[in-house]
Amino acid sequence: MQAFQHFIRGATAALAFVTLALSGTPVAAQDKYPDRPIRLILGFPTGGPTDISARIVAGQMEKALGQPVIVENKPGAGSNIGTEAAARSKPDGYTLFIGTIANTTNMSLYKNLSYNIERDFIPITQFMSSPSILVVNPALPIHNLQELIAYAKANPGKLTYASSGAGGSPHMAGEMLRLRTGIDILHVPYKGAAPALTDVIGGTVSMGFKTANGTLPSIESGKLRAIAVAGKERMPQLPNVPTLIELGIPDFEVSSWNGLFAPAGTPQAIIDRLAGVTIPALQSPGIRKQFIDLGSVPVGSTPAEFKQYVHNEVVKWAAVAKAANVTID
């Protein structure tokens, strides 16, 4: 009987050891994370606001994680090429994704999108937000929102607004303004933000929503006239320019934003590790100054906060796209 009891105890201990060893394997691998370089995929070319943001944070991640963090640009199709590549990546923490507002607008604009930003990715933290500014060519007799609305209603179809392309945030912001105020303005899409900005400055197009980080110099030099900020608060760089919310259009917030995501299925321990590195970096004075100097607002939200923000953006732009009947094949 004693021999049998010794056998049972020995077998139980052996089974427990094997179970612990097997269950501990992935944990041990996660404890060593990262032990090789990390890729940050983004769907835009080098030199733009998203690329600059990614490289600022990548530098801090390298210092904290002790491994190279390589920014990989995969532009095209409204950022969908890079997004799809990231969504198909192995969820092991070695391929991450820099998502933007485009990933939330695209959800409603593209009929055959192969990814879902909420289903296929785990939000980690929002890097920054750059509020859009409603600007007009200074030759127009428009100095505030009331004058813009009055002019547009007196001259239906005469005012035009430029965007960086169909479906982008400047286009959707213009549609939101049209829907919320009842004015008749015409959309003029361009292939990029630079030519759109150039033609508003030159007077070929009347107005547009432009991101702060690319527009402030033109406003300060008098080449553009700022009418309102599409943010929750006034910008420190433009203290005398009111927000559209202040001017009576509730919840009118349009910001170009970006942040860090991981493919769905990435272990929680790795998500926590990445959040623990990036959030403090975004809250540090040096990084905050770099983003503020670019005309952006540093954020550094928690994964839960960022998840809710992304969801709210998806819902908001779905309503605008439906009301304005905007789609992209």
| Residue 57 resides in a domain | yes
- The predicted model gives 22-34 an average pLDDT of 59
Cis amide bond preceding 280, omega within 30: no
11, pLDDT greater than 60:
no
* Nearest-angstrom CA–CA distance, 186 and 64: 49
80 with 36, same domain: the answer is yes
pLDDT of residue 102: 92
Using 50, 70 and 90 to split pLDDT, how confident is the model at 294?
confident
In this predicted structure, the answer to whether residue 13 has a pLDDT above a threshold of 60 is no
Query: Are 122 and 265 members of one domain?
Result: yes
What pTM was computed for the model?
Answer: 0.84
In this structure, is residue 244 part of a structural domain?
no
- CATH number of the domain where residue 101 is located: 3.40.190.150
- Give the chain's domain count: 2
Least Cα distance to 164 among 205, 196, 136, 129 occurs for: 196
Q: Which residue is listed with tokens 């943001």?
A: 53
What pLDDT, in 10s, does the model give residues 75-127? 988 899 999 999 999 999 999 999 999 999 999 999 889 999 999 999 999 99
Q: 232: which 2 tokens? A: 């929750």
Residue 136 and residue 124 in one domain:
no
Which residue segment(s) compose the domain that 158 sits in? 131-230
For residue 169, the domain's CATH number is 3.40.190.10
**What's the per-residue H, E or C state across the chain?**
CHHHHHHHHHHHHHHHHHHHHHHHHHHHHHHCCCCCCEEEEECCCCCCHHHHHHHHHHHHHHHHHCCCEEEEECCCHHHHHHHHHHHCCCCCCCEEEEEEHHHHHHHHHECCCCCCCCCCEEEEEEEEEEEEEEEECCCCCCCCHHHHHHHHHHCCCCCEEEECCCCCHHHHHHHHHHHHHCCCCEEEECCCHHHHHHHHHHCCCCEEEEEHHHHHHHHHCCCCEEEEEECCCCCCCCCCCCECCCCCCCCCCCEEEEEEEEECCCCHHHHHHHHHHHHHHHHCHHHHHHHHHCCCEECCCCHHHHHHHHHHHHHHHHHHHHHHCCCEC
Within a 10 A sphere around the Cβ of 148, how many other Cβ atoms? Answer: 24
User: Does 222 score more than 70 pLDDT?
Assistant: yes
| 139 and 86 part of one domain | no
- For residue range 148-202, what is the model confidence (pLDDT) as tens digits? 999 999 999 999 999 988 888 899 999 999 999 999 999 999 888 889 999 999 9
